[in-house]
């Protein structure tokens, strides 16, 4: 089918990002915006904007019926959900299909399958993909019994969600009952599903994810991996590709496992299969699949030259995969840092407000995905992400140098951001060496005072 008009059911930098590709493709865009976003940069970039409700997400961006009715009202052939909000809610994919609107993403069944972490673990095992030792628990007694077999430390994780919510690390058996109670309470409040399960906690692990594209008929390709190990409380801050200091045989096995997992469900569209690489056991385990485009997708685009949003739209329109695996090539190295309105000195407390003066970097190998300009307001209702600064170079050293210079030349007045913190991380010798584990940032934050080490070279 031909997609001529897309309703973008999202906001911020990802909305602006989708609009950019649609313009290139000659597709008209309609932005579904809350009252807080009616005068935003994406609202000005879109061909048309419709207000879908008050500022609170629960009254606008999270209303399935409102989104679908908005698409029907403007006669949009398709809905692009971006990431976050309803992007991984099967209800939107299902409602879109029922009303004859194309959902740019996987099927409702696929969203449900990978959104339930226990079902996803079972699918991984069926595809011959290793999973972290653990399993479901229905009571404290079951949890204690399983914990004895898995061993400590371990993680209590929410079945129906991610992003660190409903996740608790447990060091000792006596702490398990309380951790279960807290995790179940958080999971129920955040996802409407209080179920939890246990997994072994990998003491020294790297978070490595593989980008996949599927046509919905069983044909799947990968676009390489990204290292997302620099994270705080399970929230990513810096991502890069290719993953540094990853043995080539292991890299190949990760790619193959991701493709095998996605092909097993005839996955449709863009998705990311996430793994935990166990540095002590020279092994890797399936973590989860994100059935949407990722925040960090620009680094993959930088090294492959492939527009992931364009490929999402092509698959949704029934064009299938326009690229074969043998046609995918990788050039150089790319690193992305997330610029957030938050104060690292106050435990990364969000700092919404007015951006009085803004200057984003430019130059060779630099890309900035943002919805913020001078005079823009960061509302209290949404995520604190202001922009993503992406640096691409011939190798990792050049990409790091370019990113350092880009951050140094960025100016945001009127509010507190994490820019200086990013400089500290980039200057750290352990990070510069490459291949840090997921505990790196916690160790860095524990330093007192947290000082910037000698710069590159």
On the 0-12 / 13-18 / 19+ scale of CB atoms within 10 A, 398 is: middle
Assess whether 232 carries a catalytic annotation.
no
- State residue 452's pLDDT score: 46
- State residue 190's pLDDT score: 80
- Distance, CA of 400 to chain centre: 21
| Mean pLDDT rounded to a whole number for the chain | 94
- At 80-115, the pLDDT tens digits run 999 999 999 999 999 999 999 999 999 999 999 999
Cα–Cα distance between 325 and 319 in angstroms, integer? 16
Whole-Å CA distances, 84 to 89, 136, 314: 9, 26, 21
Q: Taking 60 as the threshold, does the pLDDT of residue 372 lie above it?
A: yes
Please give the share of the chain, as a percent, with pLDDT higher than 90.
Answer: 89
Select, from the ranges 195-204, 277-286, 329-338, the one with the highest average predicted confidence (pLDDT): 329-338
* CB-based contact 359:425 (threshold 8 Å): no
- State residue 456's pLDDT score: 44
Mean pLDDT of 269-283: 93
* CB-based contact 93:114 (threshold 8 Å): no
Cβ contacts of residue 457 below 8 Å, gap of 6+?
none
- Three-point CA angle 324, 329, 334, nearest 5°: 130
- State residue 360's pLDDT score: 98
Please give the share of the chain, as a percent, with pLDDT higher than 70.
Answer: 97
Structure tokens at 431: 């990070």
- At 233-246, the pLDDT tens digits run 889 999 999 999 99
Kindly indicate the confidence band of residue 321, based on its pLDDT and cuts at 50, 70 and 90: very high
* CB-based contact 158:196 (threshold 8 Å): yes
pTM attached to this predicted model:
0.93
Mean pLDDT of 362-375: 97
Cα–Cα distance between 7 and 19 in angstroms, integer? 10
Cβ contacts of residue 357 below 8 Å, gap of 6+?
374, 411, 412, 413, 414
- State residue 282's pLDDT score: 81
- At 129-153, the pLDDT tens digits run 999 999 999 899 999 999 999 999 9
- State residue 163's pLDDT score: 67
Domains (ranges, CATH) in the chain? 5-104 (3.40.50.20), 133-200 (3.30.1490.20), 205-446 (3.30.470.20)
Nearest to 80 by CA among 127, 137, 10: 10
**Range with lowest mean pLDDT among 73-77, 353-357, 405-409:** 353-357
From 121, 195, 292, 338, the catalytic residue: 292
Mean pLDDT of 417-423: 96
- State residue 366's pLDDT score: 98
Cβ contacts of residue 174 below 8 Å, gap of 6+?
none
- State residue 454's pLDDT score: 43
* CB-based contact 95:64 (threshold 8 Å): yes
- State residue 448's pLDDT score: 56
- State residue 453's pLDDT score: 45
- At 342-368, the pLDDT tens digits run 999 999 999 999 999 999 999 999 999
Directed axis angle between helix 90-98 and helix 64-73, to 10°? 30
- State residue 367's pLDDT score: 98
Q: Taking 50 as the threshold, does the pLDDT of residue 455 lie above it?
A: no
């Amino acid at each position: 089918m031909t997609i001529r008009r897309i309703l973008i059911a999202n906001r911020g930098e990802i909305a602006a990002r989708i609009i950019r590709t649609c313009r290139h493709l000659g597709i008209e865009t309609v932005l579904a915006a809350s009252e807080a976003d009616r005068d935003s940069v994406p609202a000005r970039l879109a061909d048309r904007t419709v207000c879908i409700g008050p500022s609170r997400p629960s009254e606008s961006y999270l209303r399935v019926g409102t989104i679908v009715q908005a698409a029907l009202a403007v006669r949009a052939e398709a809905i692009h959900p971006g990431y976050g909000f309803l992007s991984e809610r099967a209800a939107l994919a299902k409602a879109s299909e029922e009303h004859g609107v194309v959902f740019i993403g996987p099927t409702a069944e696929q969203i449900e399958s990978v959104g339930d972490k226990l079902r996803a673990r079972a699918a991984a095992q069926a595809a011959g993909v290793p999973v972290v030792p653990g399993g479901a628990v229905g009571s404290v007694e079951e949890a204690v019994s399983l914990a004895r077999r898995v061993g400590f430390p371990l993680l209590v994780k929410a079945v129906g969600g991610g992003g660190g919510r409903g996740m608790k690390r447990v060091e000792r058996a006596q702490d398990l009952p309380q951790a279960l109670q807290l995790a179940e309470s958080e999971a129920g409040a955040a996802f409407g599903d209080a179920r939890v399960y246990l997994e072994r906690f990998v003491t020294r692990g790297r978070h490595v994810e593989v980008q996949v594209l599927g046509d919905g008929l069983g044909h799947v390709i990968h676009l390489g991996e990204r290292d997302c190990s620099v994270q705080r409380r399970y929230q990513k801050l810096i991502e890069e590709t290719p993953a540094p200091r990853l043995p080539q045989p292991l890299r190949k096995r990760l790619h193959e496992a991701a493709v095998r997992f996605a092909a097993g469900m005839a996955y449709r569209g863009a998705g990311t299969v996430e793994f935990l690489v166990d540095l002590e056991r020279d092994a890797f385990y399936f973590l989860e699949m994100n059935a949407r485009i990722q925040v960090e997708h620009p680094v993959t685009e930088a090294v492959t030259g492939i527009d992931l949003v364009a490929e999402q739209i092509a698959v949704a329109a029934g064009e299938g995969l326009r690229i074969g695996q043998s046609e995918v090539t990788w050039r150089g190295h790319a690193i992305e840092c997330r610029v957030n309105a938050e104060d690292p000195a106050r435990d990364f407390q969000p700092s919404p407000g007015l951006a009085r003066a803004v200057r984003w970097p430019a130059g060779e190998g630099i890309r900035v995905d943002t919805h913020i300009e001078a005079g823009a307001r960061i509302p209290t209702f949404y995520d604190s992400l202001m922009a993503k600064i992406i640096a691409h170079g011939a190798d990792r050293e050049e990409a790091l140098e370019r990113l350092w210079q880009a951050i140094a030349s960025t100016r945001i007045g009127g509010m507190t951001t994490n820019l200086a913190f990013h400089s500290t991380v980039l200057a750290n010798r352990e990070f510069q060496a490459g291949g840090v584990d997921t505990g790196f940032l916690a160790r860095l934050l524990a330093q007192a005072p947290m000082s910037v080490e000698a710069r590159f070279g």
